[in-house]
Amino acid sequence: MPSIDTTDSETDRGQAYTLEGFIGAMVVLMAVLFALQSVVIMPTTGGLADRTVQAQIQQEVQDALIVSNQGGNLSETIRRWNESDGGFEGANQPPAPDQEDTVENRTYSVDRFANESDLGHILKERFAEKGWSYNVELHPESGGERTLVYQGSPPSSAQTASYTVTLYENQSVTSESGNDDTLEEAESDRYAVIPREHKDDTPLYNVVEVRVILW
């Protein structure tokens, strides 16, 4: 009776198990890679607490401010004052809660701010359309804080970035209703949204910190 070569049979079986294990590992690896590529960081993602993610988001907001300042658009945005009511031209939302409820203190909606400024367009496209909320505030060297966009009270985990804009007395009010008045003239006519700080023989009008708070 011929003998059965068990050595070859066991070798073939071992090779089959090895191949099955390799294929299984490849399937699991591909699934993990696909899952990682599918993750989208949203405001409620737990990873927001990670310092690396926080730093990345903050840098993106900072970059939005820097890009929007190119060509002076950020300065133009904070000089868009309405002569008739003393507020920002085109502002169509109620004031922020900490500011008096008057026409002068009205804020912009996200869509309106996107139409009015480069900063608004970048913030809407990069953040608002992906579920983020943000406030845009103006902090002059003197005078009260003004709010351009208000979407709520930010949590403690909110990210903040800012950019400083210098205003000069001979710069023009950029709204259509400003009649090409300079900031100095707008101050004299008592409709300047941002008051003058420097008055002693200097062309400097005020220094304004534009602050974006994102969550």
Q: Which residue type sits at 157?
A: S
The whole-chain average pLDDT of the chain stands at 84
pLDDT digits 0-9 by tens, 51-93: 788 889 999 999 999 999 988 899 999 999 999 889 999 999 9
Query: Domain residues of the chain, as ranges?
Result: 1-39, 47-214
Q: Are 214 and 159 in contact (CB under 8 A)?
A: yes
Closest by CA to 140, choosing from 49, 79, 202, 62, is 79
Q: Which residue type sits at 209?
A: E
Residue 9 is encoded by which pair of tokens? 């049979």
pTM for the whole thing? 0.76
